[in-house]
Amino acid sequence: MDGTRIKAVNNKGRNFTKNSLAKFIKGVDERLDEYLKRLDEDDATESGTGGSRTKNLADKIEALRAKRDGYNAMLNDLERRGEDQISLTDPDSRAMATHTKVGVGYNIQVAVDAKNKMIVEQAVSNQVVDMGLLTQTAQAAREILEVEKIDVVADKGYFKIEDIEACEKAGMTPYVPQPQRGPAVAKGLFRKDEFNYDAARDVYICPAGQTLSCNHESTLCELKRFHYTNPEACKACLLRTRCTTSSHRQVTRLENEAVLDSLAARLKARPGILNTRREIVEHPFGTIKQWMNQGAFLTHGLEKVRAEFSLAALVYNLRRALNILGTVALVRAVRA
C-alpha cells in the first residue's frame, strides 16, 4: 500500500486554514491601526493637498475592512462547520502536508499486487495524512482479490496501533514499521525499541541488562498504560546519561502492545519486505504521474476527482496487462 498527493484545481493562495486566517486578520488590523493613525495626522496637515491624500487613505482603509470582513466570515464558517481549512476554487480539496510539495490537493491511496504491479484497490480522499487508512484499503483489496490471507505492507506513515490491531482482527497480516517518536528520541537517548520486553516475566530488560518492573498504571484515551522502572539500578548505572535526564528511566507499555511485539517480530523475520514494497508501489505512481501526465487533477470536487483517478488507474492496469500478456492474449482473455 502507498499514498501520494495529487494537486487539485485550487491555487495555494485560495486555501485558508484557521491559523492562516487568524494571521491575516492580525496583519490587516495592524495595517488598519497604522492607516488610521496616518489619517489623524493628515487631517491636521491636509489643508495644502485639497484632501486627496486623506481620500486615498480612506479608500485603503475601506478596502482593508472589507478584506477583514471576508477573513472573519471564512473563520466563522470554519468554526460553524468544525473544520480546519477552506478551499475557495475546489471546496473539497485540502492543503496537504508541506513535505509533499503538492500545496492543495487530494490524498490518493493504492493497494498494488506484488506479483504483477497492478492496482487492486484505489481510493481518493481529502484526508491530509495516511494514518488511519490502512485497514479500509487493505480490506477492499482482499475482497477484490477474493483471498482469505493477505500480507499488508505499508510505510511508517500508516502506523497506528488501533489500525494494526483492526487489520489483524480482520484476518490480514500487517507489516508496518513503527516510527520512533517521543521525548527520549528527541533528546537522543536510548529508544524504547532498545528495551526488550520479556512477556513471560512481564518485565523490560534495559540496555544495561537491568530488569524494569511494572510499578504503576494509568489511563490515556481509555487505553490502559503500564509503567516499568528500576530506580535503584538507574541510580548506579554508568549508562544513565545516555538513557534519561531524570533520576531513573521509565518505559511505558500500552495494554494492547502485544500486537506491536508480533508486528516487530514479523518485520524482523522479513527484513527486505519494506524495500520490496517501495519498488512495487513506486511503479504505478511513477507511471501515472510521469508517463500518463497526471500531475494534477482536471476536475473539481471529490466525486469527480474520484472518477478521474479511477479512470487513470484503469488505464494504468490496461497498460500493465498489455505489457504482461501482450495484445493477442489480452483480447482473447477479454473475449473468453
Give me the amino acid identity at 35: Y
* Contacting residue, 28, 138, 176, 237, with ligand SF4 by CB under 6 A: 237
Only segment of 21-29, 154-162, 229-237, 294-302 that touches ligand SF4 (CB under 6 A):
229-237
Give the β-pairing of 104-112 and 94-95: antiparallel
Query: Minimum distance from CB of 193 to ligand SF4 (Å)?
Result: 14
Only segment of 6-14, 148-156, 200-208, 220-228 that touches ligand SF4 (CB under 6 A):
200-208
240 lies in the site for ligand SF4, by CB under 6 A: yes
234 lies in the site for ligand SF4, by CB under 6 A: yes
Query: Minimum distance from CB of 234 to ligand SF4 (Å)?
Result: 3
The H-or-E segment that residue 202 falls in is none
| Distance, CA of 154 to CA of 160 (rounded, Å) | 11
207 lies in the site for ligand SF4, by CB under 6 A: yes
Residue 237: φ, ψ to 5°: -80, 135
| Distance, CA of 30 to CA of 32 (rounded, Å) | 5
* Contacting residue, 249, 277, 306, 320, with ligand SF4 by CB under 6 A: 249
SS3 content of the chain, % helix, strand, coil (to 5): 50, 20, 30
How many residues bind ligand SF4 (CB under 6 A)? The answer is: 13
Query: Minimum distance from CB of 225 to ligand SF4 (Å)?
Result: 18
The cell 478521474 sits on which residue? 308
243 lies in the site for ligand SF4, by CB under 6 A: yes
* Nearer residue to ligand SF4 within complex by CB, 1 or 243: 243
27 lies in the site for ligand SF4, by CB under 6 A: no
Query: Minimum distance from CB of 177 to ligand SF4 (Å)?
Result: 24
**Planar angle of CA 264, 124, 318, nearest 5 degrees:** 95
DSSP per-residue letters across 214-246: EEEEEEETTEEEEEEE-HHHHHT-TTHHHH-SS
- Whether 232 and 215 have beta carbons less than 8 Å apart is answered as no
233 lies in the site for ligand SF4, by CB under 6 A: yes
* Nearer residue to ligand SF4 within complex by CB, 158 or 190: 190
Q: Which cell numbers in the block locate residue 139?
A: 480490506
**Planar angle of CA 145, 149, 154, nearest 5 degrees:** 80
Q: Closest Cα partner for 171 from 191, 143, 194?
A: 143
Give the β-pairing of 2-7 and 104-112: antiparallel
Only segment of 103-111, 131-139, 218-226, 244-252 that touches ligand SF4 (CB under 6 A):
244-252
* Contacting residue, 109, 125, 210, 294, with ligand SF4 by CB under 6 A: 210
* Contacting residue, 208, 264, 292, 315, with ligand SF4 by CB under 6 A: 208
Binding site for ligand SF4 (CB under 6 A): 206-208, 210, 233-234, 237, 239-240, 243-244, 248-249
